[in-house]
Structure 1
Amino acid sequence: MEIAELKAFIAVAELGSFSQAALQLHLTQPAVSKRINQLEITLGCQLFDRIGRQVALTEAGRDLLPRANRILLEMDDMRRSLSNLNGEVSGTLKIGTSHHIGLHRLPPILKRFTQRYPQVFLDIQFIDSELAFDLVTQGKLELGIVTLPPDQHSNVRTRAIWQDQLVFMVGLEHPLAGETLKDLEQLTNHPAILPSMTTFTRRIVESLFQQKKLRIDVPISTNYLETIKMMTSIGLGWTVLPKTMLDETVTPFNVKGVQLERTLGVVYHEKHSLSNAARAILDLITQAEQSSEGQSNYR
């Protein structure tokens, strides 16, 4: 049984397609099929049912999938542990981060990291924080630089880095522009534009209203914060976004006694060894935040 065969098996199982697996693995489709066939011969059982273009795991395939994932995770962990012994900062560092953090927080850190450690290949996925978190728990990303979940999760360590102030905002001509509302109930009379219920940020906002037993009318929902701001700016509803996104197209408003913030930071699997590259970028992130706090205190 070869590691390459297990990687091919996992790719086909997760994507449900030999052609998509080939694209992901940078192989030809016949090469993927050959690896699967060889694995089936080695194990003495059929792993996929192939009906036309449909691909589904057999009972044996379903049993093998979690075992194959564990084998690859152990291999990755072993490689990281052994490579750490020589003290070099090299290899591939797989990171997942949100578009917002990638745009507003990471550029100077990534620039400094690539200048200091040119031998490291950065494999960065710009995805929703929630997906990055899930991929870390599955061992498919070494680090997630994300909005931290409001609840604790087993097998995942979190390191808070930034406190991100959230602001109620509307378009310049919206009836709520510049207002100070006496309570949250007044907001329920106006439609909102918010991320989907699957996001940590939406859960923070929803919990605020649920505490008051209030419901929000959210006819428009998208996870792209820039799109939310655009739709807010043309008057389609109110929203809650990071204060850093305020510009001349939107304006804040206040709700008495209400302050919102979310915590941004790093997540990683507690049972997997961090590579030297992961430790190095963590140090740079922490240093950048400490420097920012020092400048803020000085001002």
Structure 2
Amino acid sequence: MDTQALSAFIEIADSGSFTQAGLALHLSQPAISKRITMLEQQIGQSLFDRIGRRVRLTDAGRTLLPYARKALQDIEDGRRALSQLHDQVAGRLSIGTSHHIGLHRLPPVLRSFTQRYPEVDLDIHFMDSEVACEGVLAGKLELGIVTLPTQPLAQLTMQTIWPDPLSVVVAPNHPLLGKRRLRLHDLADHPAVFPDENTYTRRIVTQALQQHDLTPRIRLATNYLETLKMLVGIGLGWSVLPDSMIDESIRRLRVPELAMHRDLGCVWHQNRAASAAARALREELGQASIAGSR
């Protein structure tokens, strides 16, 4: 069976959409459909039921899926193992990272890495940290450079690269800035804009607030921290953001009872062979961690 057809099959099964699979694989919908048609002809059975825009696996599709995943993972593991047989650091390296890390942390690391290893073909996917961790566990990504999970995940090795303190932030003209004796529960009297509830960052913030029996009045939520910063800056609500994002557009609200932080770092599958390129990027990230601690 053609590996490209298997990749398309798995992506459609995971996303439930030919369109989304095409976007993920950078293919047109006709190209995705052609690959599936070819695969169905090879096995002699239909893999998907198409009902309007909804796509569901047939019995044959559900039976094939775990074998397809294993076949592609075995091929990928073989490629990575072969890359260790020579000294040259080259080939494709698939990584997932969040938009925040991609904007604020990764540029100098990737600049140095690509200058040192020009033969590496970086395949970078921007996504939520939680999705990137799932991609590493599923074998779709070799590395995730993410907000680290709040709890250990089985088979996932984590390395902290950048400690990331968090603070309560408000607009420069927010009424809480003028209070002489700010109490923690004063926050509950004002609307908040928060990270999406499914994110690791939201879990960290929620846990810290729950320890003080504080329930925020959340006006809206989004998983883009840059968007939250803008919303805070125009006065839509208070939020909790990394200290590294604080500038003249927002102000830190000093709340001594709250000490929050998250860890940004690298994750990889502990039971799968690492390519030479992945090991080299992990070393580059380690150097960034050492430089940041000085």
Tell me the TM-score normalized by structure 2.
0.92
- 1:86-144 CA distance string (max 9 Å, x none): 12200011111111111221111111111110000111112221121121111111111
Residue identity opposite 2:76 in structure 1: D
Q: Does structure 2 conserve the Cα–Cα contact (< 8 Å) formed by 1:182 and 1:256?
A: no
% identity of equivalent residues: 51
Could you tell me how far 1:59 is from its partner in structure 2? Answer: 1.5
* Count of matched residue positions in the alignment of Structure 1 and Structure 2: 294
Structure 1 vs Structure 2 CA RMSD: 2.1
Could you tell me how far 1:212 is from its partner in structure 2? Answer: 2.7
CA distance in 1, matches of 2:180, 2:164: 21
Residue identity opposite 1:242 in structure 2: P
CA distance in 2, matches of 1:30, 1:154: 38
CA distance in 2, matches of 1:276, 1:177: 51
Cα 1:185–1:94 change in 2 (3 A) is same
Helix, strand or coil for the counterpart of 1:79?
helix
Q: Does structure 1 conserve the Cα–Cα contact (< 8 Å) formed by 2:10 and 2:65?
A: yes
- 1:199-227 CA distance string (max 9 Å, x none): 11110010012223331111111111111
Report whether the alignment pairs 1:49 with 2:49: yes
Aligned structure 1 segments of 4 or more residues deviating by more than 6 angstroms: none
Helix, strand or coil for the counterpart of 1:192?
strand
Cα 1:28–1:101 change in 2 (3 A) is closer
User: Which residue number corresponds to residue 244 of structure 2?
Assistant: 244
Structure 1 portions without partners, runs of 5+: 295-299
Residue identity opposite 1:105 in structure 2: R
Q: Does structure 2 conserve the Cα–Cα contact (< 8 Å) formed by 1:184 and 1:209?
A: no
Report whether the alignment pairs 1:100 with 2:103: no
* Match runs of 1:136-285 below 5 Å: 136-177=136-177, 183-285=183-285
CA distance in 2, matches of 1:160, 1:206: 22
Q: Does structure 2 conserve the Cα–Cα contact (< 8 Å) formed by 1:163 and 1:263?
A: yes
Could you tell me how far 1:5 is from its partner in structure 2? Answer: 2.9
Structure 2 portions without partners, runs of 5+: none
CA distance in 2, matches of 1:180, 1:259: 20
Residue identity opposite 2:147 in structure 1: T
Residue identity opposite 1:91 in structure 2: G
Residue identity opposite 1:283 in structure 2: E
CA distance in 1, matches of 2:96, 2:56: 28
Report whether the alignment pairs 1:117 with 2:125: no
Helix, strand or coil for the counterpart of 2:191?
coil
